[in-house]
Amino acid sequence: MRFFSHFMAVMVLFGMFSANNAQAEEALNLLFFGNSFTKGNDGEDVPSIVGKIAEAAGHPAPTVVRQANDGWSLNDQINKVNNDGSSSVIQGSLAPGQNWDAFVIQGYSTEATHLGNVSGFRNNAVTLSGLVRNHSSGAVPVLFETWARAQGHSFYPDSFANPLAMQQEVAEGYSLAQGDINTAIGQAIARFAPVGDGFASGNWTSDLYNGDLYHANNRGSLLAGLVLYSTIYRGSPLPGIDELGSVLSYLNLDNNDGLAMLELAGTVVPEPSSLMVLLVGAGVLLAGRRQG
């Protein structure tokens, strides 16, 4: 009987949270650092896709800002921010008093592998994170794990034995950077967005890439957007295919594309239970204000 009373109390709270969530939820301010993997090479950019997925899933439309240029490394991002000073993308893209809720870090595609400089990548991830959090101390760092080249790319077998070998190096580099950021901040706040793992679930087949077997096509960018959305909006389930209609139209994709990308995303991001949704929703409401 006591369990039933507690259960009913939780259900009442859940009903209150569900009824008030749309009014209580604030639109997020999201900042993206990247290159052609972020800005898109065969259509639409990933930050816009994330924003449209969030709207389709019932969230207020986020403010989405990107600093993404072809071929840029994290060192290029840091130099740009430092050179721009008070007019940088960090300081100059929001109204006074506004703060970033989350920021996404995506480096050059080989930067976190033996073809790049793993230690430099890790150090720069910490530095870039610090620059954002100096402005917005509550901002959540999100590591955008990139993907290996497609099957059949010229990287194999000379630069890497196969896509799996490349993906393992990328994943390790981003995971180490996540740990470095957490150590620098002093708490486990950084999140790992397993986008490359989603490509791995698709076996790095060419239908996720454009003709260079390197950059994503709109299917691959949708997959990236779904994984990033789930990582940023932790506790919210992936939208269903019906909800994704407007996103698919934006990307000139059909329902079969959407279902396939939802399936791949679902293999790498956990679908929250209703109890977890309740607890996360309660935490968001009780947390109240963003930190400055």
Q: What is the pLDDT of residues 243-285, one digit of tens each?
A: 999 999 999 999 999 999 999 999 999 776 433 443 444 343 3
N-to-C CA span, the chain: 45
Side chain identity at residue 291, one-letter code: Q
* pLDDT tens digit sequence for 142-171: 999 999 999 999 999 999 999 999 999 999
Residue 237: exposed, middle, or buried by beta-carbon count in 10 A (0-12, 13-18, 19+)?
middle
CA distance 107 to 77: 9
Tell me the pTM: 0.86
Q: What is the chain's mean pLDDT, rounded?
A: 88
Percent of the chain having pLDDT more than 70?
84
Q: Using the predicted structure, report yes or no on whether residue 16 has a pLDDT greater than 60.
A: no
Percent of the chain having pLDDT more than 90?
82
* pLDDT tens digit sequence for 203-228: 999 999 999 999 999 999 999 999 99
CA distance 150 to 133: 35
CA distance 74 to 202: 27
Average pLDDT over residues 122-149: 98
Q: Which residues contact 168 (CB under 8 A, 6 or more apart)?
A: none
In this prediction, residue 42 has a pLDDT band, given cuts at 50, 70 and 90, of low
Question: What are the structural domains of the chain?
Answer: 27-275 (3.40.50.1110)
Q: Using the predicted structure, report yes or no on whether residue 6 has a pLDDT greater than 60.
A: no
Give me the pLDDT at residue 24, please: 74
Give me the pLDDT at residue 285, please: 32
